[in-house]
């Protein structure tokens, strides 16, 4: 096993998990409410862990470990039927609208891509939140990472939801090479249609971060927010640029992906700074912080994740997906790397 590859893979999934856990209490809150409650949210709630974001990422990784590059939509649908639908007792807890709609579609006997088109939530960030394993598996191959995540995504998403997943998977694949954040963002944009909502929001978010210039370079997420703080101005301008204010839910993929990449750029690829900025932007804070953490962790490796945060990440409880209970993201990362390094049959 390539040690550098393994370190980046562990950093990616551990970064995802700590972002998920840090952003958890801020989910669906506006930045003003986050500031009122915490001043600046910088610490994971002890003993709480993450949400469905981490569990779905582990589930996605299991598909790659099992099927590798040969993954098909039928494989994904079968895994959902056996390992998600078949293990739900009572109401499904912690899942997003796209996942709930997918379960209903599968129960009706539908198959991909209709399972992702049948319900009206194909634009959600549910694929983007589980896309990182595809970038790990296809490290250095952004087009392949984007292809594979789209195969997975067809079971649950369509349109902008697919584009969001492609953007994250391709970006992680490039971050796994140690590329600079600007190059990572360029890979995300290259993976989606230029005229898509996702691409427009990404470009708008990048422009806001760039406009802040020296202010962004001086940001320190570890200090409390104050009146006139550049954090406040950055947050306000990002919300004005990409947030769909009159839509009642916060899980729009074009919005969440744009905020996550803005946080990653603002943090300069540092895990702690990227994750803290994302969590304090609010909205779908667990998902945006998870994506920002995955990108930064892929670039910096597991040593880049603060020890105090890493200590809060244990095996997942399976609260949403009972089938992944007891799995730890570090073990999952090692399995992904081992599978990715297996010789391709026929070569």
User: Is residue 59 in some structural domain?
Assistant: yes
The CA distance from 65 to 147, in Å, is 16
Q: Spell out the SS3 assignment of 296-323.
A: HHHHHCHHHCCHHHHCCCCCCCCCCCHH
Query: How high is the pLDDT of residue 218?
Result: 46
Q: Total domain count for the chain? A: 1
> 29 by DSSP, 3-state: which?
strand
User: Does the pLDDT value for residue 225 go beyond 50?
Assistant: no
The CA distance from 49 to 296, in Å, is 19
Q: 233 falls in which pLDDT band (50, 70, 90)?
A: confident
Domain that holds residue 153: 3-340
User: Is residue 7 in some structural domain?
Assistant: yes
Alpha helices in the chain (DSSP H): 3-23, 31-38, 52-67, 73-83, 97-107, 114-117, 132-137, 142-153, 160-175, 181-190, 197-212, 214-218, 230-242, 253-266, 271-280, 285-300, 307-310, 329-340
User: Is residue 229 in some structural domain?
Assistant: yes
User: Does the pLDDT value for residue 43 go beyond 50?
Assistant: yes
| Percent of the chain residues topping a pLDDT of 90 | 80
Q: Give the pLDDT confidence of 168-189 residue by residue, as tens digits.
A: 999 999 999 999 999 999 999 9
Mean confidence (pLDDT) of the chain: 92
Q: Quick one: tokens of 163? A: 């584009």
Q: How far is CA 243 from the centre of its chain?
A: 18
Give mean pLDDT, residues 189-205: 97
Q: Identify the CATH number of the domain in which residue 189 sits.
A: 1.10.4080.10
CB 125 within 8 A of CB 251: yes
User: Is residue 345 in some structural domain?
Assistant: no
Q: Give the pLDDT confidence of 302-342 residue by residue, as tens digits.
A: 999 999 999 999 999 998 999 999 999 999 999 999 999 98
User: Is residue 128 in some structural domain?
Assistant: yes
Give mean pLDDT, residues 1-21: 95
User: Is residue 129 in some structural domain?
Assistant: yes
The CA distance from 273 to 299, in Å, is 13
Count of beta carbons in the 10 Å neighbourhood of residue 219 = 18
- Top-confidence residue, 305 or 92: 305
Query: How high is the pLDDT of residue 346?
Result: 53
User: Is residue 347 in some structural domain?
Assistant: no
User: Is residue 26 in some structural domain?
Assistant: yes
Query: How high is the pLDDT of residue 214?
Result: 46
- CB under 8 Å to 145, separation ≥6 — which residues? 134, 135, 137, 138, 169, 170, 172, 173
* pTM attached to this predicted model: 0.94
């Amino acid at each position: 096993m390539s040690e550098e590859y393994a370190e980046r893979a562990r950093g990616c999934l551990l970064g995802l998990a700590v972002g998920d856990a840090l952003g958890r209490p801020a989910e669906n809150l506006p930045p003003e409410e986050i500031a009122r409650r915490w001043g600046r949210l910088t610490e994971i709630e002890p003993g709480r862990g993450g949400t469905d974001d981490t569990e779905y990422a582990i589930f996605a990784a299991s598909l790659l470990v099992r099927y590798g590059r040969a993954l098909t939509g039928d494989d994904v649908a079968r895994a959902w039927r056996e390992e998600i639908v078949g293990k739900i007792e009572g109401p499904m807890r912690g899942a997003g609208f796209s996942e709930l709609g997918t379960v209903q579609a599968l129960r009706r006997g539908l198959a991909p891509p209709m399972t992702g088109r049948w319900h009206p939530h194909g634009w959600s960030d549910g694929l983007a939140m589980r896309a990182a394993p595809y970038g790990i598996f296809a490290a250095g191959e952004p087009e392949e990472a984007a292809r594979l995540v789209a195969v997975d995504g067809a079971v649950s998403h369509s349109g902008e939801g697919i584009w969001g997943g492609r953007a994250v998977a391709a970006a992680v694949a490039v971050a796994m090479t140690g590329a600079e954040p600007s190059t990572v963002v360029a890979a995300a944009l290259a993976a989606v249609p230029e005229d898509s909502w996702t691409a427009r929001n990404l470009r708008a978010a990048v422009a806001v971060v760039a406009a802040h210039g020296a202010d962004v370079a001086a940001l320190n997420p570890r200090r409390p927010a104050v009146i006139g703080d550049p954090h406040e101005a950055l947050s306000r301008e990002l919300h004005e640029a990409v947030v769909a204010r009159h839509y009642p839910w916060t899980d729009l993929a074009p919005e969440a992906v744009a905020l996550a990449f803005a946080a990653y750029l603002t943090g300069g690829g540092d895990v702690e700074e990227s994750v803290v900025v994302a969590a304090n932007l609010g909205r779908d804070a667990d998902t945006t912080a998870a994506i920002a953490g995955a990108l930064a962790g892929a670039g910096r490796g597991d040593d880049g994740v603060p020890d105090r945060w890493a200590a809060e990440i244990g095996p997942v409880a399976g609260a949403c997906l009972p089938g992944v209970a007891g799995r730890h993201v570090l073990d999952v990362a090692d399995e992904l790397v081992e599978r990715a390094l297996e010789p391709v049959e026929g070569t």
